[in-house]
């Protein structure tokens, strides 16, 4: 059974740096430790466990992998592999599928070999980068937004909010659009299409007026693009009414979508801004303009890293910073909310939703598909980990689909919509689910008691052995204790009806 909470998690690998050309691989002639550890990191440990040789070579090994590690002796590679053998393998009920047929889907009717594309950004901004992504297994790219403006980027241009293990949780950029000329980018499209005819080229464009939106769409089609994505949402291009300023004005979205649609014969999708209260007005406007799909989300306006000595936020460019776009895993809940809003909207039925915002693992991608995403785009995770993440995105999703008996990935699109309400007032309010404490796992830290006392309903006290005791009369079943327990020793427990229906 694929577990919701993997037995081995990123936390177990905290010192692994996910190296390039990992020395642990070079030190081992029996398994490829680096690929196995990456699969653990990207929630794909069931595939990793099934790819191990039948005999466990780690039993009688002096673990040269751990010695050659760039953090020699700090990563328990052998233990991690042993756990794949002894904890994960016995749980594997479904064999790794022998083909990726299940992953085949489409973007506005055009075939995709899998649902994964690079999203428009630096990760898909040159011929060599796109070619490398295709070779790695990405089904397509959304090329860095093409425009006729003179783009000169600031330096530095990124900033990050990091977790305790140093990995990037949220990412801020102040980058604008492609700094190549339109002609240079069209030459790249021609070369890419000639070399990779079955890969999907989504051409992101931004015009300054109707004529230019049309002209750019026409040129992209002429030079090999499979579809056009209209960038109505870059938060770093607000000057002159461009970027997310367009996405905030449905009339402009409709006008510019129509201009692009009338100028080409390939599908047109509108990329919308999350810097609005609701995305539906702009999405419906795009539909009226003839859009075949919606892409979302672009980055969220943000401020990060305010320096307490200079008073300048990050990135600081010559002593000055600016509000910029936030992306990465931190924005996923917000992105999911917008995708669900559009998935729920009957006016948008039939439109393709190309979903993005914080996808790192196959489980992230699946969440977007369950709420209506028909294809998945990724930038920040690729900036952090490289094109190689496609291996675990595909393998993890493929195994999940096989296990659940889905013949094709399209079958999961929208399955989570019915169980998600746009507002909380519709939820049932007559039952309380009390927390259940696993006394063997509890270490007596008292964090549940602190949170319940100061942020809950003062329903937990500690006994003489520092173990939690619940006052069922005070507990409202909010589950703050479940969330704060560092040992994960508190689980949802008994259900009790506290109010009669009505
Ligand atoms: C450095 C950087 C540059 C970006 N440039 C563009 C762009 O040129 N056009 C565009 O439509 N979106 C651009 N984006 C937004 C991404 O395509 C994507 O919508 C957003 O980052 C959310 O996905 P993610 O969390 O996977 O990065 C950029 C994002 C980043 C981080």
Q: Is 147 a catalytic site residue?
A: no
Q: Closest Cα partner for 381 from 393, 369, 370?
A: 393
What are the tens digits of pLDDT across the range 76-133?
999 999 999 999 999 999 999 999 999 999 999 999 999 999 999 999 999 999 999 9
Question: What is the per-residue pLDDT for 3?
Answer: 43
The pLDDT tens digits for 276-315 are 999 999 999 999 999 999 999 999 999 999 999 999 999 9
Segment 16-21 shows an average pLDDT of: 94
Structural domain 431-497, CATH architecture = 2-Layer Sandwich (3.30)
Q: Which CATH class is domain 106-154+175-302+327-412?
A: alpha beta
Q: What is the pLDDT of residues 148-185, one digit of tens each?
A: 998 999 999 999 999 888 889 999 999 999 999 999 99
Closest Cα to atom 12, ligand 1: which residue? 120
- Which candidate in 142, 234, 264, 485 is catalytic? 234
CB 38 within 8 A of CB 392: yes
Task: Express each pLDDT in 214-229 by its tens digit.
Answer: 999 999 999 999 999 9
| Model confidence pLDDT, tens digit, residues 331-349 | 999 999 999 999 999 999 9
- The answer to whether the 106-154+175-302+327-412 and 431-497 domains have the same CATH topology is no
What is the per-residue pLDDT for 7?
62
Instruction: Give the model's confidence band at 238: pLDDT under 50 very low, under 70 low, under 90 confident, else very high.
Output: confident
- Distance (Å) from CA 461 to ligand 1 centroid: 47
Which H, E and C letters describe 341-379, residue by residue? Answer: HHHHCHHHCCCEEEEECCCCCHHHHHHHHHCCCCEEEEC
410 exposed, middle or buried (CB, 10 Å; 0-12, 13-18, 19+)?
middle
Q: Is pLDDT above 50 for 2? A: no
- Does the pLDDT of residue 194 top 60, yes or no? yes
Amino acid 10: pLDDT: 73
Question: How large is the average pLDDT for residues 254-283?
Answer: 98
CA distance 387 to 167: 17
Ligand 1 centroid to residue 118 C-alpha, Å: 9
pLDDT at 14 over 90: no
Question: What is the reported pLDDT for 4?
Answer: 43
**Per-domain boundaries in the chain:** 10-91, 106-154+175-302+327-412, 431-497
Residues with CB under 6 A from ligand 1: 119-122, 144-145, 171, 173, 175, 177, 204, 231, 234, 271, 298-299, 327-328, 331, 356-359, 378-381
Between β-strands 227-231 and 268-271, what pairing exists: parallel, antiparallel or unpaired? parallel
pLDDT at 501 over 50: yes
pLDDT recorded at residue 239: 74
Any idea what DSSP says for residue 389?
H
Separation of 328 CA from ligand 1 center, angstroms? 9
Taking the CA of residue 119 as reference, the ligand 1 atom at the shortest distance is 17
> Residue range 379-404: average pLDDT?
98
Which atom of ligand 1 is least distant from the CA of 122? 3
């Amino acid at each position: 059974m694929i577990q919701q909470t993997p037995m081995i998690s990123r936390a177990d690998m905290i010192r692994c740096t996910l190296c390039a050309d990992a020395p642990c691989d070079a030190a081992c002639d029996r398994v490829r430790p680096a690929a196995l550890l990456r699969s653990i990191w990207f929630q794909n440990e069931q595939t990793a466990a099934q790819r191990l040789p039948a005999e466990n070579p780690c039993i009688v090994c002096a673990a040269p992998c751990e010695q050659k590690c760039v953090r020699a002796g700090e990563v328990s590679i052998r233990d991690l592999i042993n756990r794949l053998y002894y904890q994960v393998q016995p749980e594997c009920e479904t064999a790794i599928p022998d083909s990726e047929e299940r992953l085949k889907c489409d973007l506005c009717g055009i075939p995709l070999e899998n649902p994964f594309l690079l999203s428009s950004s630096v990760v898909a901004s040159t011929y060599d980068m796109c070619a490398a992504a295709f070779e790695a297994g990405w089904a397509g790219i959304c090329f860095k937004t093409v425009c006729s403006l003179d783009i000169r980027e600031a330096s530095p241009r990124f900033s990050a909010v990091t977790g305790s293990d140093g990995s990037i949780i949220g990412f801020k950029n102040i980058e604008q659009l492609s700094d190549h000329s339109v002609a240079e980018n069209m030459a790249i499209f021609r070369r890419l299409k000639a070399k990779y005819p079955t890969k999907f080229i989504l051409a992101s464009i931004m015009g300054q007026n109707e004529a230019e939106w049309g002209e750019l769409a026409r040129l992209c089609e002429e030079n090999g693009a499979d579809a056009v994505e209209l960038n109505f949402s870059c938060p770093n291009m607000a000057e002159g009414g461009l970027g997310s300023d367009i996405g905030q004005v449905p009339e402009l979205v409709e006008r510019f979508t129509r201009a692009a649609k009338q100028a080409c014969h390939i599908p047109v999708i509108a990329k919308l801004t999350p810097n609005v209260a609701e995305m539906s007005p702009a999405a419906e406007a795009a539909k009226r303009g003839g859009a075949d799909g919606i892409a979302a989300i672009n980055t969220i306006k943000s401020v990060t890293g305010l320096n307490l000595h200079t008073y300048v936020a990050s990135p600081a460019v010559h002593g000055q910073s600016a509000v910029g776009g936030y992306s990465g895993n931190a924005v996923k809940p917000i992105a999911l909310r917008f995708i669900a809003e559009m998935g729920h909207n009957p006016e948008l039925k039939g439109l393709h939703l190309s979903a993005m915002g914080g996808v790192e693992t196959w489980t992230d991608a699946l969440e977007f598909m369950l709420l209506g995403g028909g294809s998945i785009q990724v930038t920040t995770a690729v900036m952090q980990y490289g094109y190689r993440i496609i291996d675990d995105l595909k393998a993890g999703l493929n195994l999940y689909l096989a296990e659940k008996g889905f013949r094709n990935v399209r079958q999961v699109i929208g399955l989570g919509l019915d169980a998600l309400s746009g507002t909380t007032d519709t939820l049932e309010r007559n039952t309380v689910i009390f927390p259940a404490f696993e006394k063997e796992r509890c270490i007596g830290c008292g964090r549940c008691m602190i949170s319940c006392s100061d942020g809950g309903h003062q329903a937990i006290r500690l006994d003489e052995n520092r173990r939690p005791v619940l006052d069922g009369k005070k507990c409202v079943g909010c589950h703050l204790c479940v969330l704060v327990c560092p040992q994960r020793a508190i689980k949802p427990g008994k259900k009790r009806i506290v109010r009669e229906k009505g």
